[in-house]
Amino acid sequence: MEAAFFDVDKTVIAKASMAVFGRTLYREGLISRRTVLRGLWAQLVYLHLGAGEEKLARIRESVLTLTRGWDQATVRQIVREAMEELVEPVIYGEALELIETHRAAGRKVYIVSASPEEIVGPLASYLRVDGAISSRAKIDQEGRYTGEMEFYAYGPYKADAIGALAGRENIDLAASYAYSDSYTDLPMLEVVGNPVVVNPDRVLLKLARERQWEVRNFVRPVSLRPRVSAPGLPAAAVAGAVVMGVGGVVGWRLGLRLRRQPVSLPAASWQQRLRERSAQPISAVSSWLPNLPAGWLPH
């Protein structure tokens, strides 16, 4: 049996699916205005400069600490209210076509993501793939997030999980495929015989060229709406969607908006401006950001 393994962010989806929850979480009192601004700053730096493993680890621990004590039922309700936004055009058409091609060839298809299982699982169902590998947060007996991680599907742990899955399902990894945009997924790409990089970061692009791996660019988001039946969607399935990403939800969405719209910046590039500002506190962010659409930041 052969299989195809797809990373999610920037490989299957054009933006973070958690990005729709930021304003709702702020309105419900689960996060503060400062947290929104901190997430905005972190996401701008990540989008334009990238982030090393140490920085990503700090962000992960910060977010886990933030969610400690959150009631799962409350998060379910918040996600339910924001669910309609999840069916905006976010899925790359090229990824859907590849998924269908692999299925037609008789291969099993899996999505593999560091995002929480509460959102990756439903996404796998939407895409009609065979399964998913994702991160798992710990929940206590009272149904609250503990602030700890049970399993983090990142870097070498993705490759380990793929190997374990291959053993259970009798999958021939040497004949299988893997798709990702990030150099942090190098172990996942190396574990299969047919690695493909999609919308790669600079480091991964360099490695792909050196190793003569296939490089693809996905640029055509399509609507997920026809694949989702909103009334029948179990809210419980997406209850923990924010566990790994809430700290940066508004920043991610803002970063995409800024890249689509013309902005008034000095001659220095985004990268240079971010390098110059990276050591400044969050309170300095609003002093140099371009004019933003009304409603982006909480009042």
Q: What would the DSSP string read from start to end of the chain?
A: --EEEEE-BTTTBSS-GGGGGHHHHHHTTSS-HHHHHHHHHHHHHHHHH---HHHHHHHHHHHHHHHTT-BHHHHHHHHHHHGGGGGSEEEEHHHHHHHHHHHHTT-EEEEEEEEEHHHHHHHHHHHT-SEEEEEEEEE-TTSBEEEEEEE---THHHHHHHHHHHHHHT--GGG-EEEES-GGGHHHHHTSSEEEEES--HHHHHHHHHHT-EEE----EEE-GGG--GGG--GGGGTTTTTTTGGGHHHHHHHHHHHHS-----SS-HHHHHHHHTTS-GGGGGGTSPP--TTSS--
Active site positions, annotated: 7, 9
Distance (Å, rounded) from C-alpha 215 to C-alpha 132? Answer: 23
Cα gap 99→6, rounded to integer Å = 9
